[in-house]
Amino acid sequence: MPLFVNNLNIEYPGKVLFKDLQVEVEDQKIVAVRTEVLDGGTTLLKGLAGMLDGIDGEVRLDGLDLLHMDPAQRALKVGYVYEQQGLVSLYDCFQNIALPLQFHTTTRNELVETRIFSLCEKFNVDRQLLNEYPHALNDVQCRMINLLRALVIEPKLLLVDELEGGMSEKVLGDTIDTLREEQKNNAMIVIITTADDLLLDQADDSYQIDDKKLRACH
């Protein structure tokens, strides 16, 4: 099983958000998690990504222990798309997208550029946007740049926090279709938190957060 979550407990001081969470996700699946305001959707994704300290349990991706592996190695396996912000203000969009590859790998700059331009084309992101700094982007553009940065490493697990905010149905639908195309080239699991019915319908599996666990919607 490519993603295996076992007995995951996530809590903040005085509040338990997830208790004994169990999830198994097969390769190349898109999983949607219905989320409400402040119900722990973002925390769940960060927990799965190994970005939170002091959580118990087991998260294994292709046998790798995501909670205890080296952050640099994990950054090449897991892509994370923030709902808001999530970019480095000191860099323009191109540099933001290229950053994980340039920092962690020896990929040649020409190849980095080719990969970024190819992603821009697939996801209909205007190349001129690559020269802009994060402060000049609107929410949707910011999320799309986040998405490209997460995809540029060709992750095995893509975690997306509420992709839909401010997006038209067409753009959202096209983005999901393109993600499915990407899954054909790069066998990755996509987990998206969402409040959007269209996304919940399009996903292979959908869950909702209920009583500190994930319950299947259909």
Q: Which residues pair with 213 in a beta bridge?
A: 210
Question: Which lies closer to another protein via its Cβ, residue 70 or residue 211?
Answer: 70
What residues numbered 69-128 form the site for another protein, per CB under 8 A? 70-76, 80, 82, 85-90, 99-100, 102-106
Q: Which of 190, 181, 184, 149 is nearest to 3 (CA)?
A: 190
Residue 160 CB, nearest approach to another protein (Å): 14
- Neighbouring CB atoms inside 10 A of 154's CB total 17
- Neighbouring CB atoms inside 10 A of 82's CB total 20
Question: Which lies closer to another protein via its Cβ, residue 87 or residue 176?
Answer: 87
Q: Which of 57, 73, 41 is nearest to 157 (CA)?
A: 73
Residue 110 CB, nearest approach to another protein (Å): 14
Place of tokens 């959007």: 196
Residue 169 CB, nearest approach to another protein (Å): 29
Q: 190 near 179, Cβ under 8 Å? A: yes
Question: Which lies closer to another protein via its Cβ, residue 72 or residue 187?
Answer: 72
Question: Which lies closer to another protein via its Cβ, residue 43 or residue 202?
Answer: 43
Residue 115 CB, nearest approach to another protein (Å): 16
What residues numbered 32-71 form the site for another protein, per CB under 8 A? 46, 49, 51, 70-71
Question: Which lies closer to another protein via its Cβ, residue 106 or residue 185?
Answer: 106
SS3 195: coil
Task: Please count the residues of this chain forming the interface with another protein, following the rule CB under 8 A.
Answer: 25
Q: Which residues contact 111 (CB under 8 A, 6 or more apart)?
A: none
Q: Which of 211, 185, 83, 97 is nearest to 145 (CA)?
A: 97
Residue 86 CB, nearest approach to another protein (Å): 6
Q: Which residues pair with 65 in a beta bridge?
A: 60
Q: Could you list the residues that contact another protein (CB under 8 A)?
A: 46, 49, 51, 70-76, 80, 82, 85-90, 99-100, 102-106
